[in-house]
């Protein structure tokens, strides 16, 4: 579906004033102003964040109380269990606290719920098993703040419950000895992810152990490594890369490059990222994160935590290799599901009268439904629900939904609640369970809601373009200046530029084992640049038929390959002029 390009308005006078006041390149000033940064000091802080910019953990609500309780439990040698989550944020959060407590000689283990069998957050049966196995102190990471009945059960089982979380608060707080959460009280930055909250708690525990703000060299070394783990959680949980998150990712990337934990060093080797001089945010988002998440999606999240906590190089190499294989399996499942879903969509006929897509199959893997649903929602610009049905038709099918701006999934599923076994999530992403006998009725009701709520004139999907630029302007110096805005991610996207009167030189070529990506060369008035369209393999035939000038929307990058560096562009979209 064609996308609409929206050029960001930038006040030239404000950009020039910032350039002079901050002493920065013009292109950087323009991009900062387009991001709402006009003050010279704010610009300098953004471009040159400092690790000292992280707020002391004593400012984080609940952190001091939780640290004192955990430190006392360590001294008393109580059995402590870290109760994690099965995504990359939850795994890294779990690993941070496990590594911290092991350094302090605690009696500690961890538990990660099974994605499909138990689902997200505290699970009653798991709490009973942990209590039977001797757990005395239960510390949650990346979950628990909305688990009110489970928290009461933990109390009845005699578990000392400490909750660390960052998710939406319920109408009331759960019963717990301490709750660490950036959304409670007036913490200046509520945007921390689960791993960042765990890092702050680990920092507070280290201060407790040292009876002061200054920690030992050994614990300081641990905390610097833990910044790398927190950076992975921050990028993978798609929280805004501003304020403390920006600091964590900037210095976390340095830590992952210079001194990664044993398991990450092995994973970096297997993915060839160890060959890079410096890691980037995209390396976490597109390489490391998917491999950790693959373990969770395919029911083996505990291996992800083991990778991040092991000190055995041999064990780390084995797990890293296995996670790489799991990720390949996950990609294969996604491709198979995407083909099957696309076949169902084509069978529907013209899509201009289809307000939403509700598709189901018995052989789909529930662990990867969300990824495929998200891609289909982006491709067809409509809400998408994918349901993995029970082959025997006895149990309800498991579904995952992804939305588009203007349609609230949480509200829509609540309105269809009488047809569902269960549902949960938020406006953009949600999960559900529905019996096969009710799928047709649910599809009708859901599509009716979509038709009513999504305005007919909502228009196509949009690409926000930061500025126009000719290919001639994209010198290495200019692109390196743009790179100074890194780390890039949610809330600080890599700048998107556009250019017109561009021509394709030669035929585009598919890349990768599956041909999912596309490589080509563009020419504009004699200046040629290599371009790569990630996930753009389907454009091959259409682009090859173009015989004339194009307009392109793209992200400029510096490509480092075999000791050489050159400018190339990552193609986001194109139009025939």
Give the pLDDT score at 352.
Answer: 78
Give the pLDDT score at 105.
Answer: 98
**Dist CA 397 CA 388 (whole Å):** 5
Q: Are strands 550-561 and 517-524 parallel, antiparallel or unpaired?
A: unpaired
357-361 β-sheet, strand order: 357-361, 384-388, 397-402, 429-434, 422-425
Give the pLDDT score at 219.
Answer: 98
The residue among 116, 196, 117, 179 whose CA lies nearest residue 367 is 116
**Dist CA 198 CA 196 (whole Å):** 5
Residue 304's SS3 state is helix
Ordered per-residue pLDDT tens for the chain, 577 residues: 678 999 998 899 999 999 999 999 988 999 999 889 999 999 999 999 999 999 999 999 999 999 999 999 999 999 999 999 999 999 999 999 999 999 999 999 999 999 878 888 899 999 999 999 999 999 999 999 989 999 999 999 999 999 999 988 888 999 999 999 999 988 999 999 999 999 999 999 999 999 999 999 999 999 999 999 999 999 999 899 999 999 999 999 999 999 999 999 999 999 999 998 889 999 999 999 999 999 999 999 999 999 999 999 999 999 999 999 999 999 999 999 999 999 999 999 888 778 999 999 999 999 999 999 999 998 899 999 999 998 877 889 999 999 998 899 989 999 999 999 998 877 888 889 999 999 999 999 999 999 988 865 456 678 999 999 999 999 999 999 999 999 998 889 999 999 999 999 999 999 987 888 999 999 999 999 999 999 899 899 999 999 999 999 999 999 887 778 899 999 999 999 8
Residues near 343 by beta carbon (within 8 Å), at least 6 away in sequence: none
Give the pLDDT score at 560.
Answer: 81
Q: Which two tokens stand for residue 392?
A: 């025997």
* DSSP structural state of residue 537: G
Give the pLDDT score at 144.
Answer: 94
Using the structure block, give the residue that is written with the tokens 């139009």.
575
Give the pLDDT score at 107.
Answer: 98
Confirm if 529 and 474 have CB atoms less than 8 A apart.
yes
538-539-541 Cα angle (round to 5): 95
Using N-to-C axis directions, what is the helix angle for 40-47 and 26-34, rounded to 10°? 100
The residue among 150, 153, 184, 154 whose CA lies nearest residue 167 is 184
Q: Which two tokens stand for residue 103?
A: 């350094």
Q: Which two tokens stand for residue 226?
A: 């833990």
Query: What structural domains and CATH numbers belong to the chain?
Result: 53-323 (3.90.1640.30), 356-453 (3.10.310.30), 462-576 (2.40.50.460)
**Dist CA 398 CA 28 (whole Å):** 46
H or E element in which residue 34 lies = helix 26-34
H or E element in which residue 373 lies = helix 369-380
Confirm if 519 and 508 have CB atoms less than 8 A apart.
yes
Give the pLDDT score at 430.
Answer: 87
DSSP sequence for 240-281: -SSHHHHHHHHHHHHHHHHS--HHHHHHHHHTTGGGSSS--H
DSSP sequence for 375-421: HHHHHHTS-EEEEE--TTSSSPEEEEEE--TT--HHHHHHHTGGG-S
**Dist CA 256 CA 228 (whole Å):** 5
Q: Is the dihedral of CA 566, 286, 279, 325 positive or negative?
A: negative
Query: 3-state SS string over 158-177?
Result: CCEEEEECCCCCCCCCCCCC
The residue among 222, 185, 188, 189 whose CA lies nearest residue 205 is 222
The residue among 431, 118, 113, 130 whose CA lies nearest residue 301 is 113
**Dist CA 39 CA 17 (whole Å):** 9
Using the structure block, give the residue that is written with the tokens 């060093």.
265
**Dist CA 37 CA 491 (whole Å):** 13
Residue 570's SS3 state is strand
Instruction: Provide the phi-psi class of 314: left if phi over 0, else alpha when psi is between -120 and 50, else beta.
Output: alpha
**Dist CA 91 CA 149 (whole Å):** 24
């Amino acid at each position: 579906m064609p996308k609409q390009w929206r050029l960001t308005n930038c006040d030239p006078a404000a950009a020039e004033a910032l350039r002079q006041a901050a002493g920065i390149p013009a292109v950087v000033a323009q991009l900062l102003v387009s991001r709402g940064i006009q003050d010279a000091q704010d610009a300098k802080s953004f471009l040159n964040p400092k690790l000292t910019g992280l707020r002391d953990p004593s400012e984080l609500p609940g952190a001091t109380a939780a640290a004192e309780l955990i430190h006392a439990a360590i001294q008393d040698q109580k059995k402590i269990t870290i109760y994690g989550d099965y995504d990359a944020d939850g795994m890294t959060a779990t690993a941070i606290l496990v590594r911290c407590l092991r350094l302090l000689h605690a009696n500690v283990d961890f538990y990660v719920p099974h994605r499909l069998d138990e689902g997200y957050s505290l699970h009653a049966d798991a709490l009973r098993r942990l209590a039977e196995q001797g757990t005395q102190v239960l510390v949650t990471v990346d979950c628990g703040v909305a688990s009110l009945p489970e928290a009461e059960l933990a109390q009845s089982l005699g578990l000392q419950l400490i909750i660390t979380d960052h998710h939406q608060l319920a109408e009331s707080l759960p019963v717990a000895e301490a709750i660490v959460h950036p959304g409670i009280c007036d913490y200046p930055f509520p945007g921390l992810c689960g791993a960042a909250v765990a890092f702050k708690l680990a920092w507070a525990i280290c201060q407790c152990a040292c009876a002061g703000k200054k920690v030992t060299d050994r614990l300081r070394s641990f905390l610097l490594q833990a910044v790398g783990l927190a950076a992975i959680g921050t990028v993978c949980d798609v929280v805004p890369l501003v304020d403390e998150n920006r600091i964590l990712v900037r210095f976390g990337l340095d830590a992952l490059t210079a001194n990664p934990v044993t398991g990450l060093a092995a994973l970096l080797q297997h993915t060839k990222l160890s060959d890079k001089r410096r890691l980037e945010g995209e390396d976490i988002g597109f390489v490391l994160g998917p491999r950790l998440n693959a373990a969770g999606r395919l029911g083996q999240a505990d291996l992800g935590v083991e990778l991040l906590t092991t000190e055995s190089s041999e064990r780390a190499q084995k797990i890293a290799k296995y996670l790489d294989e799991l990720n390949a399996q996950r990609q294969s499942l996604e491709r198979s599901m995407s083909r099957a879903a696309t076949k169902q969509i084509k069978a529907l006929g013209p899509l201009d009268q289809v307000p939403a897509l509700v598709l189901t199959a018995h052989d789909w893997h529930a662990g990867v439904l969300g990824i495929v649903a998200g891609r289909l929602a982006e491709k067809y610009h409509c809400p998408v629900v994918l349901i993995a049905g029970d082959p025997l038709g006895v149990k309800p099918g498991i579904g995952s939904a992804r939305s588009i701006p203007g349609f609230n999934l949480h509200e829509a599923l609540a309105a269809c609640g009488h047809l569902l076994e269960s549902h949960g999530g938020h406006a953009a992403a949600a999960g559900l369970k529905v019996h096969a006998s009710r799928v047709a009725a649910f599809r009708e009701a859901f599509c009716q809601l979509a038709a009513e709520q999504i305005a007919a004139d909502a228009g196509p999907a949009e690409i926000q373009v930061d500025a126009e630029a000719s290919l001639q302007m994209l010198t290495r110096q200019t692109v390196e200046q743009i790179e100074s805005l890194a780390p890039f991610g949610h809330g600080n996207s890599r700048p998107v530029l556009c250019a017109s009167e561009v021509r394709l030189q030669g035929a585009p070529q598919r890349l990768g084992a599956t041909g999912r990506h596309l490589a080509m060369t563009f020419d504009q008035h004699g200046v040629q640049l290599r371009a790569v369209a990630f996930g753009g393999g389907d454009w091959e035939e259409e682009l090859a038929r173009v015989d004339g000038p194009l307009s392109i929307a793209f992200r400029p990058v510096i490509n480092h390959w075999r000791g050489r560096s050159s400018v190339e562009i990552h193609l986001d979209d194109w139009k025939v002029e």
